[in-house]
């Protein structure tokens, strides 16, 4: 009986690790990022408990040490500025965000960010490395954890205005008050507890969309907001697997939500709610 029980536990652990890996990688793919094969291997060892997160991070970052200083490039930033001023967050003469590794090559920075943020997202899933009460501080702590090794602005609101395509995100001076107001509304909604899955998906879509349009951070809003929603789902008794959503479906749903049509995004979240916690 003990052997059977241990086998069942092992099977459950493998299934959970598979879900975590697929979900986190999907969240990266949504941003156009793909972890390297080397980081993927290290991440698998971490999820299996063979190495600590400290050991995993050391191995991941070591491979970038020789190439931190590369040729300048200007195609990394995803955001279009309303004016032609140099972003205070980028290296002079480029659109490459200033980073702790000193990487000035766009492709190298994207690779570094994919590998490192993957591991930090694994930590949030496996160890609940960040806990909170689903307020503004909680959101900032999630951002800080994911990007602590990459950007000096990790966990801090942006100080400049940004847009994407025709969408202008919340002006920087109004981020704090708008986010606080929105998350106070979430508190009044009792953090979406005691809702059936369809109801949860509908309300979660609203909050995901509204945090997105506020876009509190200079970079990393998508991953941070999805992790916030994942933790909210966990608190409400649901498990989210972002890999169950196609990238294009989420992209189109996010655009629709800008115009207050939350139904496509609700459908995405409903699809991503893989199962109910027992």
What is the average pLDDT across 77-89?
Answer: 61
In CATH terms, the superfamily for domain 2-158+168-276 is Fido-like domain (1.10.3290.10)
Instruction: Report yes or no on whether pTM surpasses 0.85.
Output: yes
What's the average model confidence in pLDDT over 24-32?
Answer: 97
pLDDT band at 75 (very low <50, low <70, confident <90, very high): very low
What does the mean pLDDT of the chain come to?
A: 90
| pLDDT at 260 exceeding the cut of 90 | yes
pLDDT at 3: 54
What is the rounded distance in angstroms from the CA atom of residue 17 to the CA atom of residue 125? 10
Distance of alpha carbon 94 from alpha carbon 242, whole angstroms:
32
Q: Give the pLDDT confidence score for residue 85 in this predicted structure.
A: 74
pLDDT digits (tens, 9 = 90+) for 193-246: 999 999 999 999 999 999 999 999 999 999 999 999 999 999 999 999 999 999
pLDDT, tens digit (0-9, with 9 covering 90-100), for 96-138: 999 999 999 999 999 999 999 999 999 999 988 898 999 999 9
The confidence score (pLDDT) of residue 142 equals 98
SS (H, E, C) the chain: CHHHHHHHHHHHHHHHHHHHHHHHHHHHHCCCCCCCHHHHHHHHHHHCCCCCHHHHHHHHHHCCHHHCCCCCCCCCCCCECCCCCCCCCECCCCCCECCCCCCCCHHHHHHHHHHHHHHHHHHHHHCCCCCCCCCHHHHHHHHHHHHCCCCCCCCCCCCCCCEECCEECCCHHHHHHHHHHHHHHHHHCHHHCCCCHHHHHHHHHHHHHHHHHHCCCCCCHHHHHHHHHHHHHHHCCEEECHHHCCHHHHHHHHHHHHCCCCHHHHHHHHHHEEEECC
pLDDT-based confidence at 74, cuts 50/70/90?
A: very low
- Domain-wise residue ranges, the chain: 2-158+168-276
């Amino acid at each position: 009986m003990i052997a059977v029980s241990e086998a069942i536990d092992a099977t459950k652990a493998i299934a959970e690790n598979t879900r975590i890996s697929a979900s986190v990688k999907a969240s990266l793919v949504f941003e156009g990022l793909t972890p390297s094969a080397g980081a993927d291997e290290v991440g698998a060892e971490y999820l299996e408990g063979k190495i600590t997160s400290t050991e995993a991070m050391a191995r991941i970052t070591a491979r970038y040490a020789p190439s931190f200083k590369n040729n300048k490039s200007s195609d990394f930033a995803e955001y279009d500025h309303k004016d032609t001023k140099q972003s205070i967050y980028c290296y002079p003469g480029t659109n490459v965000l200033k980073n702790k590794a000193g990487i000035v090559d766009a492709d190298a920075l994207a690779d570094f960010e994919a590998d490192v943020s993957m591991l930090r997202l694994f930590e949030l899933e496996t160890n609940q490395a960040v806990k909170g009460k689903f307020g503004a501080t909680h959101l900032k702590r999630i951002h800080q954890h994911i990007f602590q090794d990459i950007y000096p602005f990790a966990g801090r609101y942006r100080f400049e205005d940004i847009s994407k395509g025709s969408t202008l995100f919340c002006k920087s001076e109004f981020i704090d008050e708008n986010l606080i107001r929105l998350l106070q509304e979430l508190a009044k909604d009792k953090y979406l507890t005691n809702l059936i899955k369809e109801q949860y998906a509908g309300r979660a879509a609203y909050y995901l969309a509204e945090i997105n349009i506020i876009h509190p951070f200079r970079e990393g809003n998508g991953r941070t907001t999805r992790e916030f929603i994942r933790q909210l789902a966990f608190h409400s008794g649901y498990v989210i697997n972002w890999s169950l959503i196609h990238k294009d479906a989420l992209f189109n749903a996010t655009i629709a939500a800008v115009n207050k049509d939350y139904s496509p995004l609700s459908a995405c979240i409903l699809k991503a709610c893989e199962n109910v916690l027992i």
